[in-house]
Amino acid sequence: MSKNKEFVKFDKVDKSYDGKVLVVKDLNLNIAEGEFVTMLGPSGSGKTTCLMMLAGFETPTNGEIYLNSNPISNIPPHKRGIGMVFQNYALFPHMTVYENLAFPLRVRKISKDEIDKKVDKVLSMVSLSGFEKRMPGQLSGGQQQRVAVARSLVFDPQLVLMDEPLGALDKNLRESMQYEIKHIHESIGVTVVYVTHDQGEALTMSNRIAVFNDGKVQQLSSPDKLYEEPVNSFVAEFIGENNTFSGEVTDFSKDKCKVKLTSGNEILANPIAIKSKGEKTRVSLRPERAIIDPDSKMENKFKGKIEEVIYHGDHTRVRLNLLENKEFILKVPNSSARMDIKVGNQLNVGWNSFDARALDPK
């Protein structure tokens, strides 16, 4: 069985609520069958709107959405056969867990025996067997969440949408639920579109992540690529921690460029979004790619004054004043070797030009 590479396809989709502002702009997105794709972005970036259009609760202002190569704009939500997990679970409070799970099966007129079988199966999948008679109000947040996931899967949909399903849970529960959802996805191979604003969640769970901002997909790639190789400064700053320098490109070759910073210093960087000399740029560097006391081979070597030391248990975060950037962050593993990290001391810091990505100035 060949998998459909364009199982879900957004084709030039625009969405506007008031006719003045576009919430989603010219969205083109393909999701393959069996994939776990996360839409990640700050609130108001249009990710939930995309999900609602896919589910059928909003209609695209322009463009078309295809599900398994069929346009679905004119199909009402209840005929799309898409499972959905809502932010606040949306369990029916007047029905027991069993009735909640049986609801999608009953409206499909499936026989009682079959319903019992399916409910049993899906409950054991989310390890909630024996909870059939409980009302949703008698369950903890995590349990309600599992019931909501189970309900979205019980009628064997080809596609499941999840709208910030873990937003209301505490941190530990959220992490264990992340693994649980990931395992369920792996074991039954359903296509999942997941919306979140939590980057940690997105990075751990997804096959691919679509970073949304301003109604547009800024970057669509696998988690590691997204983190290591952000294509623009929004993605670089949104995902993970980041040190930035603003400046102007003074020299430019194929894999290196010289950037003159506002402080007057020049650094070497990796030209990602640079086309010519004289462009303004913003250089992005991950904190863990900068090292203390670099050897002489390093292309960028500078001295910085320690402004603040923040203890994080397994590592220490050091804020430096480096090249007039007072927010330069350095991660130092917590070992007994570095006793000289104290506020006011000077540190030698260096990094490779490859790791300093010269991106758009924003």
Partner 1 sequence: MSKETKQILSTDGIPLEESLKKAEKKNKIKAFLLVCPLLLFLIITYVFPIGEMLFRSVDDKMVTNMLPKTYKAMENWDGKDLPEEDVFKAFYLDYKILVEAKRHGRLATQLNYEKNGFKSILKKLARKQKNFEEGNYKEQIMKVHKRWGQVDYWRAIKRRAPAYTYAKYLKGVDMYENEDGKIVQVPENRRIHKLLWMRTLNIALGVTILCFFMAYPIAHLLATLPMKYSNLLMICVLLPFWTSLLVRTASWMILLQQQGIVNDFIVWIGLVSDDNRPEMMYNKTGTFVAMTQILLPFMVLPLYSVMKTISPSLMRAGKSLGATPAIAFFKVYFPLTIPGIGAGCLLVFILAIGYYITPALVGGASGTLISNQIAYHMKETLDWSFASAMGLMLLAGVLAIYWLYNKLVGVDNIKLG
In the complex, which residues of this chain contact partner 1 (CB under 8 A)?
55-57, 76-84, 86-88, 90-94, 103-104, 107-108, 151-152, 155
What secondary structure does DSSP assign to 15-75, as a single string? EESSSSSEEEEEEEEEE-TT-EEEEE--TTSSHHHHHHHHHTSS--SEEEEEETTEE-TTS
Count of beta carbons in the 10 Å neighbourhood of residue 143 = 18
3-state secondary structure of 344: coil
Smallest separation (angstroms) from partner 1 to the CB of 217: 24
Between 157 and 350, CB nearer to partner 1: 157
Smallest separation (angstroms) from partner 1 to the CB of 184: 18
Place of tokens 């430096």: 320
Between 139 and 306, CB nearer to partner 1: 139
CA–CA distance, 146 with 226 (Å, rounded to integer):
29
Between 107 and 188, CB nearer to partner 1: 107
Between 80 and 256, CB nearer to partner 1: 80
Smallest separation (angstroms) from partner 1 to the CB of 194: 15
Smallest Cα–Cα separation from 104: which of 79, 121, 128, 127?
A: 79
101 phi and psi angles, rounded to 5 deg: -75, -30
Between 104 and 271, CB nearer to partner 1: 104
First to last CA, the chain: 45
Smallest separation (angstroms) from partner 1 to the CB of 161: 8
Smallest separation (angstroms) from partner 1 to the CB of 193: 13
Between 81 and 287, CB nearer to partner 1: 81
Place of tokens 């024996």: 130
Smallest separation (angstroms) from partner 1 to the CB of 135: 13
